[in-house]
């Protein structure tokens, strides 16, 4: 749930009890006020009647008003009671129904005679006024709050726009982007601050990444010259006489190690270049002829390993790729299938309109499956592999938005690599 | 045969120079772009081995200079082999486009460079004669036909490459690593390739002997091979 919605929800949740409680409170207060005023009115009415009784201007026992108001009745003896306010109902003979009434009952002593005086005030109208007021006020409150919510959501939406823009830019942020990302500023100081911070961070990250990349590339390049010198020096050394078998064996072993190093170096350089998008040029590559050519190239080696090397290749499957990378990706996948196939087993290679599949028998992976396309992940039984072949194939596939997947069929011990293009 | 070696790394220059001199070439070296340009301007060479990554200029410009020179004079054009530290396809294509005969990536084995120089010189200077002979073996480098005393021997492509490599480096100790690098390049790596190479050499040897050829391929010191007429 968005921050905005959550805010609105909380506002609404708070608003309802406040409106209900506030309405009740308001109603109570108004009623109290009205009662206070009415009671004051009643006591002044009583005082008035008292004065009239003194002046003998009142016809006692004769109701002159609605609701028998005021009701004055002489009472015998000197029984005096304190004035009592109470709520009751009176029959309104004009409306033919009982109506709520506030009355003041009191005894009045005038010229030695005692009267019981009851003054009344119909409350119906006041109740209605109180109710109406409460409803109007509560309604007004809800309406105002609703408006506030709407206004708030509108304002929030406007205020948070730069924030969402930043998020979008952050989502699009790529460490390996050729152009540094500029996060846009805002008139809101906080967001401006955030964007400035992000800009700094992005700049630093990209700089670090570029340095790292340049380092790998330079390191690989710089390694080439000493490797070339070692290679030629060993060749020269082999041309000297006399040599012993031990010397030659050592030199050969050194040459093999140098060759491994050279392959490793080339692979690393290639990986860096793929990551650097240094193979920008695309052209239609006939995958069928590429795969066929490579299958034939590897066939003698497969035969040497006693493999049944079968390939089924659909004709004229063409995709737009960098030809060199396509070559590398296919040869790495084929090499993988060939090298890791169990001796004297069958390797099946299939190229269809949508996928390239290699199937080779072999023991389960000696490492977790999710590391398969990682760098320097290799079978401990084959320590002289670079461990980069599948990493490169994976990187090239990713580069062109292709899916390179792996499954292992446990029951028949079959490694299946599928490249969907 | 005169060779100009343009390479900025002194250690490499001396190793390559000695090696080529053993092969009876007359070798001139240049370690900078400026010296190479002067050398190219002043003398003619049969083959130029050029590292295009020079510190003071682009080696590709030297090729352009060479092309301009051969366009002016009637002298036979030099053979040209590019050495590059970059295994970059663009450099390779551009180099070949500019008229280089071959391209070799650092690091390389000296016997491989030797084989390539021989192949370039053959193409450039012995036009019409594509035959390479060693003892009883004659190889036609155009048709890839191999004969032993006029009898054709049927070899696979890899066996043919192996034989040519051996014939380019007679009487020289060749290690399995160098041979494997030449025959398979990047396609094959690891210990398997040595085992595989052994099978190939065994097959080649058997085919040659079956064809009536003396056994020229000799194993030396357990880890190397020698292609030689004398035991």
Burial of B42: CB neighbours in 10 Å, binned 0-12, 13-18, 19+: exposed
**Is residue A261 less than 8 Å (CB to CB) from chain B?**
no
**Is residue B204 less than 8 Å (CB to CB) from chain A?**
no
Work out the pLDDT band at A388, boundaries 50, 70, 90: confident
- Write down the pLDDT at residue B74: 59
Work out the pLDDT band at A89, boundaries 50, 70, 90: confident
Which architecture, in CATH terms, is B131-227?
Orthogonal Bundle (1.10)
Total tally of structural domains belonging to chain A: 3
Assess if residue A236 is contained within a domain. Answer: yes
**Is residue B12 less than 8 Å (CB to CB) from chain A?**
yes
Among the ranges given (A171-180, A191-200, A297-306, B143-152), the one the predictor scored with the smallest mean pLDDT: A171-180
List the CATH number of the domain containing A413: 3.30.565.10
- Please give the average per-residue pLDDT across A227-249, as a whole number: 87
Same domain, A207 and A258: yes
Ordered by start, the domain boundaries in chain B are: 2-125, 131-227
Residues of chain A contacting residue B224, judged by C-beta atoms under 8 Å apart: 238, 248, 252
When CB atoms are compared, the residue of B11, B16, B175 closest to A238 is B175
- Write down the pLDDT at residue B14: 92
- Write down the pLDDT at residue B127: 65
- Write down the pLDDT at residue A357: 94
Provide ipTM, 2 decimals.
0.84
Work out the pLDDT band at A121, boundaries 50, 70, 90: confident
Same domain, A231 and A289: no
Same domain, A238 and A295: no
Of the CA atoms within 13 Å of residue B128, those in its CB half-sphere come to 0
pLDDT above 90 coverage of chain A, percent: 19
- Write down the pLDDT at residue A161: 87
Tell which of A226, A242, A275 closes a domain: A275
Work out the pLDDT band at A66, boundaries 50, 70, 90: low
Assess if residue A214 is contained within a domain. Answer: yes
H or E segment to which residue B197 belongs: helix B191-210
When CB atoms are compared, the residue of A249, A262, A269 closest to B222 is A249
Assess if residue A160 is contained within a domain. Answer: no
The residue ranking higher by pLDDT, A25 or A113, is: A25
Assess if residue A169 is contained within a domain. Answer: no
**Is residue B171 less than 8 Å (CB to CB) from chain A?**
no
- Which residues 33-72 of chain B have a CB within 8 Å of chain A? none
Same domain, A350 and A399: yes
* pLDDT at B163 exceeding the cut of 90: yes
Most confident region among A104-113, A269-278, A320-329 by mean pLDDT: A320-329
Same domain, A264 and A212: yes
The residue ranking higher by pLDDT, A353 or A62, is: A353
DSSP state of B88: -
From B101's Cα to the closest Cα of chain A, the distance in A is: 21
* pLDDT at A358 exceeding the cut of 70: yes
Interface test mutation site (partner B, options A227, A232, A245, A269, max chain B beta carbons within 10 A) = A232
Tell which of A250, A275, A300 closes a domain: A275
**Is residue A248 less than 8 Å (CB to CB) from chain B?**
yes
- Which residues 352-411 of chain A have a CB within 8 Å of chain B? 382, 384-386
- Write down the pLDDT at residue A58: 67
Interface test mutation site (partner B, options A259, A341, A388, max chain B beta carbons within 10 A) = A259
CB atoms within 10 A of CB A81: 11
Range of the domain at A313: 283-420
**pLDDT tens-digit profile of A34-65?**
889 989 998 998 888 888 888 877 666 555 55
The residue ranking higher by pLDDT, A219 or A355, is: A355
**pLDDT tens-digit profile of B184-196?**
776 666 556 777 8
Assess if residue A12 is contained within a domain. Answer: yes
- Write down the pLDDT at residue B88: 61
* pLDDT at A13 exceeding the cut of 80: yes
Residues of chain A contacting residue B107, judged by C-beta atoms under 8 Å apart: 224, 227-232, 258, 262
- Write down the pLDDT at residue A407: 92
Are A386 and A271 within 8 A, CB to CB?
no
Pairwise CB contact (< 8 Å): B173 & A300: no
- Write down the pLDDT at residue B44: 87
CATH of B2-125, one of 3.40.50.2300, 3.30.2010.20, 1.10.3720.10, 3.40.50.300: 3.40.50.2300
**Is residue A304 less than 8 Å (CB to CB) from chain B?**
yes
* pLDDT at A392 exceeding the cut of 70: yes
- Write down the pLDDT at residue B87: 60
From A163's Cα to the closest Cα of chain B, the distance in A is: 44
Same domain, A305 and A346: yes
Pairwise CB contact (< 8 Å): A228 & B22: no
Assess if residue A159 is contained within a domain. Answer: no
**pLDDT tens-digit profile of A255-271?**
888 888 888 888 888 88
**Is residue A257 less than 8 Å (CB to CB) from chain B?**
no
- Please give the average per-residue pLDDT across A289-304, as a whole number: 88
Residues of chain B contacting residue A269, judged by C-beta atoms under 8 Å apart: 87
- Write down the pLDDT at residue A207: 87
Work out the pLDDT band at A352, boundaries 50, 70, 90: very high
Assess if residue A168 is contained within a domain. Answer: no
Assess if residue A266 is contained within a domain. Answer: yes
- Please give the average per-residue pLDDT across A67-81, as a whole number: 75
Same domain, A269 and A293: no
- Write down the pLDDT at residue A182: 83
SS3 of chain A: CCHHHHHHHHHHHHHHHHHHHHHHHHHHHHHHHHHHHHHHHHHHHHHHHHHHHHCCCCCCCCCCCHHHCCEEEEECCCCCCCCEEEEEEEEECCCCEEEEEEEEEEEEEECCEEEEEEEEEECHHHHHHHHHHHHHHHHHHHHHHHHHHHHHHHHHHHHHHHHHHHHHHHHCCCCCCCCCCCCCCCCCHHHHHHHHHHHHHHHHHHHHHHHHHHHHHHHHHHHHHHHHHHHHHHHHHHCCCCCCHHHHHHHHHHHHHHHHHHHHHHHHHHHHHHHCCCCCCCEEEEHHHHHHHHHHHHHHHHHHCCCEEEEEECCCCEEEECHHHHHHHHHHHHHHHHHHCCCCCEEEEEECCCEEEEEEECCCCCCCHHHCCCCCCCCCCCCCCCCCHHHHHHHHHHHCCCEEEEEEECCCCEEEEEEEC
Cα–Cα dist A149/B85, whole Å: 68
Residues of chain A contacting residue B220, judged by C-beta atoms under 8 Å apart: 248
Work out the pLDDT band at A346, boundaries 50, 70, 90: very high
For helices B176-184 and B110-125, angle between their N-to-C axes, nearest 10 degrees: 50
Cα–Cα dist A15/A18, whole Å: 5
- In chain A, which residue's Cα lies nearest the Cα of B11? A229
Distance of CA B86 to the CA centre of its chain: 19
Pairwise CB contact (< 8 Å): B109 & A231: yes
**pLDDT tens-digit profile of A395-418?**
999 888 899 999 999 999 999 999
* pLDDT at B128 exceeding the cut of 60: no
Distances (CA, A) of A241 to A237, A244, A247, B12, B225: 9, 9, 11, 21, 15
From A162's Cα to the closest Cα of chain B, the distance in A is: 45
- What is chain B's length? 231
* pLDDT at A373 exceeding the cut of 60: yes
Same domain, A19 and A113: yes
């Amino acid at each position: 749930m968005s921050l905005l919605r959550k805010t609105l929800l909380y506002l609404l949740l708070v608003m309802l009890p406040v409106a209900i409680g506030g309405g009740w409170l308001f109603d109570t207060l108004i009623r109290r006020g009205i009662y206070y005023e009415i009671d004051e009115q009643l006591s002044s009415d009583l005082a008035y009647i008292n004065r009239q009784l003194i002046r003998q201007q009142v016809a006692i026992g004769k109701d002159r008003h609605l609701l028998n108001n005021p009701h004055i009745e002489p009472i015998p003896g000197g029984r005096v009671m304190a004035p009592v306010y109470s709520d009751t109902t009176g029959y309104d003979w004009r409306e033919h129904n009982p109506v709520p009434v506030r009355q003041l009952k009191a005894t009045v002593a005038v010229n030695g005679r005692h009267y019981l005086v009851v003054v009344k005030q119909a409350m119906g109208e006041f109740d209605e006024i109180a109710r109406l007021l409460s409803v109007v006020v509560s309604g007004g409150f809800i309406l105002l709050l609703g408006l506030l919510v709407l206004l708030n959501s509108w304002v929030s939406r406007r205020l948070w726009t730069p924030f969402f823009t930043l998020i979008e830019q952050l989502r699009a942020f790529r460490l390996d982007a050729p152009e540094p990302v500029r996060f846009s500023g805002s008139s809101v100081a906080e967001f401006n601050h955030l964007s400035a911070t992000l800009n700094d961070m992005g700049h630093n990250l990209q700089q670090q990444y570029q340095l790292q990349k340049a380092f790998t590339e330079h390191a690989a390049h710089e390694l080439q010259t000493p490797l070339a010198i070692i290679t030629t020096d060993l060749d020269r050394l082999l041309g000297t006489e006399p040599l012993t078998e031990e010397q030659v064996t050592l030199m050969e072993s050194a040459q093999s190690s140098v060759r491994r190093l050279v392959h490793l170096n080339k692979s690393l350089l290639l990986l860096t270049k793929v990551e650097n998008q240094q193979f920008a040029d695309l052209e239609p590559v006939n995958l069928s002829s590429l795969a066929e050519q490579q299958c034939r190239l590897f066939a003698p080696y497969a035969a040497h390993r006693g493999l049944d090397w079968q390939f089924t290749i659909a004709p004229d499957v063409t995709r737009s790729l960098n030809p060199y990378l396509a070559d590398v990706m296919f040869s790495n996948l084929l090499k993988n299938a060939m090298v890791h196939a169990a001796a004297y087993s069958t390797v099946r290679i299939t190229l269809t309109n949508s996928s390239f599949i290699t199937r080779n028998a072999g023991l389960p992976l000696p490492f977790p499956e999710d590391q398969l396309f990682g760098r320097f992940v290799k079978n401990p039984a084959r320590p002289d592999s670079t461990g980069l072949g599948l990493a490169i194939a994976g990187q090239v596939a990713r580069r062109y938005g292709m899916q390179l997947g792996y499954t292992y069929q446990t029951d028949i011990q079959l490694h299946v690599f599928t490249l969907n293009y | 045969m005169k060779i100009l070696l343009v390479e900025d790394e002194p250690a490499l220059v001396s190793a390559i120079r000695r090696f080529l001199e053993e092969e009876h070439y007359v070798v001139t070296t240049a370690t900078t772009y400026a010296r190479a340009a002067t050398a190219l301007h002043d003398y003619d060479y049969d083959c130029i081995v050029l590292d295009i990554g020079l510190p003071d200029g682009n080696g590709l410009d030297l090729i352009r200079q060479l092309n301009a020179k051969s366009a002016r004079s009637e002298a036979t054009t030099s053979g040209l082999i590019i050495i590059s530290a970059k295994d970059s396809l663009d450099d390779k294509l551009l180099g070949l486009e500019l008229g280089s005969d071959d391209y070799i990536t650092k690091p390389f084995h000296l016997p491989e460079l030797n084989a390539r120089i021989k192949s370039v010189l053959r193409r450039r200077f012995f036009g019409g004669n594509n035959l390479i002979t060693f003892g009883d073996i004659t190889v036609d480098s155009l048709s890839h036909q191999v004969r032993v005393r006029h009898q054709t021997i049927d070899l696979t492509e890899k066996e043919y490459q192996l034989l040519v490599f051996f014939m380019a480096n007679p009487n020289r100790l060749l290690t399995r690593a160098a041979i494997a690098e030449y025959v398979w390049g990047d396609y094959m790596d690891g210990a398997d390739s040595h085992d595989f190479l052994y099978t190939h050499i065994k097959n080649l040897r058997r085919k040659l002997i079956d064809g009536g050829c003396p056994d020229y391929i000799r194993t030396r010191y357990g880890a190397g091979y020698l292609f030689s007429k004398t035991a």
